[in-house]
Amino acid sequence: MSQHFLLSKAAKTLTLGQVFRMTDSEAETTFRRLRWADTEGDPVCPHCGGLDAYDCRRKSGAPRFECKQCGKDFSITSGTLFASHKLLLKAYLAAIAIFCNEVKGKSALAMSRDLGLSYKTSFVLLHKLREAMAAEMRGRVIGGNGEEAEVDTGYFGGYVKPANLAEKRKDRRFAMNQSGKRKAVIVIRERDGNTLPAVFRTEGQALNFIRSRIAKGTVVNADESCKLERVA
């Protein structure tokens, strides 16, 4: 039996314990390496893409850079989802660690208690992280020539509690007796590759989405009759 990914070393690149043990300079270095991974932490101007910038740190110690090409200044968070926010870099790293390591999600109220933030700040921060994850999915295509992909659907929400007395219960299979809030979560999974989720009202409404997000030449495996279909 293979090891679960969350138990592997690859899933522990950023932990909450590591963040809390960091000094301010170590947190800044970690954030720079995450932000500018291609340059190993060297600043890249978000305005013109210039690689030549010098440190013009504020008197308070806040990291700041100025680009020699366009003359504009920027910070580590400029051009990211954390731009214009006033939290410490350690707080952002801790929020990322909590958000990514919670298997079943993290509520804004719980995060506000863990990090000592207001509920509104935690609420906005969590939505910013979700927005960043959604942006990574935009335009993603699954599969390719000779690759295999699997498609499956799960229905969530819209539960209607039945009446206590059997004679007063309604058949919830009919649309008139449903709440209309039930959603179909479609997941396209490439074998040993990327995963692409989407939400629709019904499974049938997702057909065009599935066709547009699966590359030509991909072997598609669906459930029910385990039918295999090659996308031409």
Q: Please tell me which residue, 69 or 225, carries the higher pLDDT value.
A: 69
Q: What is the pLDDT of residue 226?
A: 42
Average pLDDT of the segment spanning 84-89: 81
Q: What is the pLDDT of residue 122?
A: 92
Q: What is the pLDDT of residue 110?
A: 92
Average pLDDT of the chain is: 84
pLDDT above 60 for 1: no
On whether the pTM is more than 0.85, the answer is: no
- Whether 188 contacts 214, CB under 8 Å: yes
Q: How many CA atoms lie within 13 A of 76 on its CB side?
A: 26
Q: What is the pLDDT of residue 166?
A: 84
- As a whole-number percent, the residues of the chain with pLDDT over 90 amount to 7
For β-strands 65-67 and 53-55, DSSP reports them as antiparallel
Summarised one tens digit per residue, pLDDT across range 162-202 is 888 888 888 877 878 878 788 889 999 888 888 888 889 88
Summarised one tens digit per residue, pLDDT across range 3-22 is 676 677 777 778 888 888 88
Beta bridge partners of residue 183, listed in sequence order = 156
**Which of 34, 7, 3 is closest to 19 using CA atoms?**
34
